[in-house]
């Protein structure tokens, strides 16, 4: 298939693009990550930026915002003038805001402090004007329909709420160009709608928006144009109306992907997990059985309790009452170690805060919870055996990294997610709790993860899939339980579940 540049002809009277890149390249220690990229976005345009994990999307936008320096040779124009930012501060001052793929808030500060960090309003005495700061904060939170108090500590918010704070912060910068790197990973449909409403508003005000997402449905819903990167090169750019999903995927991965959700029916076996009347901070009186060889999907709005349920089962959150039985044995003492020993593995929703240690290598991160597997004697670890297994996972998951010794922080977001998943599987669990497993993962790799879930299911694992991605739940789960305000409000067998029926229970 021809890799057409479906660029429409230049309208000569049109104002210059807000952002225009020509021939931008980037090399990290000898590796070409971006090469000769042209990219532009106009006022009133929502430009989708898509491509596989590691294609270079975040890097390109980090160059625009002054975090990285591009290789020499290319040019960046903002509002018609050639620019070269050497810090985020400079790009913010020029009128560019970016919502980063990984959450960037300080958990020990309040929401208001986070929103206005480094640009706090001052009173006549030159001190921070708290009443104004809090009032302004409330204004921007209201703009994204959040009702929590700006004096709350960010660390007490759910990941989704924190994401809304990031969005509010971007709005408060009043920028002309807003870059959103995977903003909806932690958001459910309702919050995504709120975000889209905000984006349409910004678009109508003549702002330029770059929207990065692996959820292609969102791209078609909100973007008027789409640019595709593959292996650091721009392979296509043009109006979204000239694309369909199949063509877009083909541009992204260079092949056709059939069957987005490769569901394999299963014969569920005996009960492996029995949860009775479980209550914890958010969840209330949850009871259900998990069988070997089945995937149970958990649906619900942000803060409905899916995340808390996962953490409570794993032992990271203390249960208030109720019981958890694994293969007939009650788990009494609750701590993650007990969970691991009982054969429970957990893939956390927030891989940066809870899962991975950014400065450590791919190898160390992957084997952290499973070192026992590689010990020879006296606590000694067989490095050779460890490396063999790590390489197997790197291969199987197609993790894009120069070596297993590379620091996790240098991998693209989606590739970090694959390492987090490998880490959970390393402990060879019988019960696997996946909290947003495909967050930030590209279409191809997503399909690989679904196939893997099917394989694990066939091996007899019990898989709890907590996801805000409704098509994913409908596509992969054997049955779906719905949570609302911490309680179970619905249960659907595969086939009876529809998006509408689930939503009805989710808002109950
Ligand atoms: N600081 C760094 N040092 C070394 N390599 C890096 C660094 N930052 C990014 N890379 C590499 O650049 C490539 C592109 O990464 P980037 O994060 O831009 O991908 P992406 O398109 O945003 O992917 P994803 O969809 O997974 O977020 C990756 O192979 C990544 O490992
Ligand atoms: Mg990225």
The predicted-structure confidence for 307-325, as pLDDT tens digits, reads as follows 999 999 988 888 999 999 9
- Who has greater pLDDT, 166 or 256? 166
Mean pLDDT on 292-318: 91
State the pLDDT at residue 462.
Answer: 97
Q: Check pLDDT > 70 for residue 4.
A: no
Could you report the per-residue pLDDT of 171-223, keeping only the tens digit for each? 999 999 999 999 988 787 888 888 999 899 999 999 999 999 999 999 999 99
- Report pTM: 0.80
For residues 473 and 467, the answer to whether their CB atoms sit within 8 Å is yes
Instruction: Give the H or E element holding residue 286.
Output: strand 286-291
Question: CATH classification of 18-95+175-256 is 1.10.1280.10, yes or no?
Answer: no
Q: Is 142 exposed, middle or buried (0-12, 13-18, 19+ CB in 10 A)?
A: exposed
- Which atom of ligand 1 is least distant from the CA of 406? 4
CA distance 399 to 268: 31
Q: Which residues pair with 56 in a beta bridge?
A: none
**Mean of pLDDT values over 225-253:** 93
CA angle 64, 67, 69 (to 5 degrees): 75
For residue 1, is pLDDT > 70?
no
Ligand 1 pocket mutation, candidates 65, 412, 413, 421, criterion most atoms within 8 A of CB: 412
Query: What is the pLDDT averaged over residues 484-503?
Result: 93
Position with higher pLDDT, 1 vs 144? 144
The residue assigned the tokens 């915002």 is 65
* CA pair distance 171, 503, nearest whole angstrom: 29
| pLDDT tens profile 310-369 | 999 988 888 999 999 999 998 875 677 778 888 999 998 887 777 788 889 999 999 987
Predicted local confidence at residue 334, as pLDDT: 67
- Helical H segments across 407-493, by residue range: 413-426, 443-458, 470-476
Closest listed ligand to the CA of 439: 1
Q: Is 414 in the pocket of ligand 1 (CB under 6 A)?
A: yes
Distance from residue 106's CA to the centre of ligand 1 (Å) = 23
Q: List, in order, residues 6 or more apart from 285 with CB less than 8 Å away.
A: 277, 278, 279, 322, 487
Residue of minimum CA distance from atom 13 in ligand 1: 54
* CB-facing half-sphere around the CA of 93: CA atoms within 13 A: 11
Q: What is the spatial distance between Cα 133 and Cα 112, in angstroms, rounded to a whole number?
A: 7
Domain range list for the chain: 18-95+175-256, 105-174, 267-343+429-508, 351-427
| Fold designation for 267-343+429-508 | Rossmann fold (3.40.50)
Shortest-distance Cα residue to atom 1 of ligand 1: 410
Query: How far is it, in rounded angstroms, from Cα 452 to Cα 446?
Result: 10
411 CA: nearest ligand 1 atom = 31
Q: Is the CB of 303 under 6 A from ligand 1?
A: no
pLDDT classification of 13: cutoffs 50, 70, 90: low
CB 19 within 8 A of CB 78: yes
CA 411 / ligand 1 centre spacing (Å): 5
Q: Answer yes or no: are the C-beta atoms of 506 and 300 closer than 8 Å.
A: yes
252-273: average pLDDT:
85
Closest CA to 275 of 254, 298, 252: 298
Question: 18-95+175-256 and 267-343+429-508: same fold?
Answer: yes
Q: What does the alpha-carbon distance between residue 285 and residue 476 come to, in Å, rounded to a whole number?
A: 26
Whether the pLDDT of residue 483 is over 70: the answer is yes
- What is the percent of the chain with per-residue pLDDT over 70, rounded to a whole number? 96
How far is the centre of ligand 1, averaged over its atoms, from the C-alpha of 400 (Å)? 9
Give the least confident one: 8-22, 61-75, 351-365, 384-398: 8-22
**pLDDT for the residue 78:** 97
Instruction: State whether the beta carbon of 54 lies less than 6 angstroms from ligand 1.
Output: yes
**Nearest ligand to residue 33 Cα:** 1
pLDDT average, residue stretch 86-101: 93
Return the pLDDT at 128. 94
| pLDDT band at 9; cut points 50, 70, 90 | very low
Q: Is 400 in the pocket of ligand 1 (CB under 6 A)?
A: yes
Task: Determine whether the shortest distance from the Cβ of 53 to ligand 1 is under 6 A.
Answer: yes
Span 149-162, average pLDDT: 91
As a whole number, the mean pLDDT across the chain is 90
Question: Is the four-CA dihedral 440, 442, 445, 450 of positive or negative sign?
Answer: positive
Taking the CA of 181 as reference, the closest ligand is 2
| DSSP string covering 347-363 | E-S-IIIII--TTSBHH
Please tell me if the CB atom of residue 51 comes closer than 6 angstroms to any atom of ligand 1.
yes
pLDDT at 91: 95
């Amino acid at each position: 298939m021809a890799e057409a540049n479906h660029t429409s002809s230049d309208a000569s009277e049109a104002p210059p693009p807000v952002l225009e890149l020509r021939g931008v390249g980037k090399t990290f220690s000898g590796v070409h990550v971006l090469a000769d990229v042209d990219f532009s976005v106009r006022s009133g345009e929502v430009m989708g930026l898509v491509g596989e994990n590691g294609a270079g999307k975040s890097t390109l936008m980090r160059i625009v915002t002054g975090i990285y320096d591009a290789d020499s040779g290319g040019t960046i124009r903002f509002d018609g003038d050639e620019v070269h930012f050497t810090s985020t501060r400079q790009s913010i001052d020029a009128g560019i805001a970016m919502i980063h793929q990984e959450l960037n808030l300080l958990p020990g500060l309040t929401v208001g402090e986070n929103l206005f960090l480094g640009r706090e309003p001052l009173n006549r005495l030159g001190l921070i004007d708290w009443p104004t700061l809090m009032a302004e904060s409330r204004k921007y939170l209201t703009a994204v329909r959040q009702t929590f108090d700006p004096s709350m500590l960010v660390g007490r918010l759910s990941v989704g709420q924190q994401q809304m704070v990031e969005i509010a912060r971007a709005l408060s910068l009043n920028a002309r160009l807003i870059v959103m790197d995977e903003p909806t990973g932690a958001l459910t449909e309702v919050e995504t709608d709120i975000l889209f409403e905000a984006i349409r508003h910004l678009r109508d005000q003549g702002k330029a928006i770059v929207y990065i997402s692996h959820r292609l449905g969102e791209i078609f819903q909100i973007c008027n144009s789409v640019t595709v990167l593959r292996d650091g090169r721009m392979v296509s750019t043009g109006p979204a109306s000239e694309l369909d999903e199949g063509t877009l995927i083909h541009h992204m991965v260079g092949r056709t992907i059939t069957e987005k959700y490769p569901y394999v029916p299963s014969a569920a076996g005996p009960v492996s997990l029995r949860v009775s009347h479980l209550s914890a901070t958010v969840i209330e009186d949850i009871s259900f059985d998990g069988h070997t060889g089945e995937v149970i999907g958990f649906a619900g709005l942000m803060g409905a309790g899916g995340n808390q349920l996962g953490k409570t089962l794993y032992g990271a959150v203390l249960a208030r009452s109720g019981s958890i039985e694994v293969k007939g044995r009650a788990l009494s003492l609750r701590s993650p170690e007990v969970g691991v020993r009982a054969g429970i593995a957990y893939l956390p929703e927030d891989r940066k805060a809870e899962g991975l240690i950014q400065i450590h290598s791919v190898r160390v991160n992957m084997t952290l919870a499973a070192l026992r597997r590689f010990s020879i004697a006296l606590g000694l670890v067989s490095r050779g055996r460890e490396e063999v297994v790590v390489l197997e996972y790197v291969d199987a998951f197609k993790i894009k990294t120069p070596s297993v010794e590379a620091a996790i922080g240098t991998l693209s977001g989606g590739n970090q997610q694959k390492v987090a998943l490998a880490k959970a599987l390393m402990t060879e669990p019988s019960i696997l709790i996946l909290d947003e497993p495909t967050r930030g993962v590209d279409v191809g790799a997503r399909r690989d993860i679904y196939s893997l879930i099917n394989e694990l299911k066939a091996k007899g694992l019990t898989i709890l899939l907590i996801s805000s991605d409704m098509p994913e739940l409908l596509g992969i789960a054997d049955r779906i339980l719905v949570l609302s305000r911490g309680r179970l409000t619905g249960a659907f067998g595969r086939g009876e579940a529809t998006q509408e029926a689930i939503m009805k229970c989710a808002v109950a």
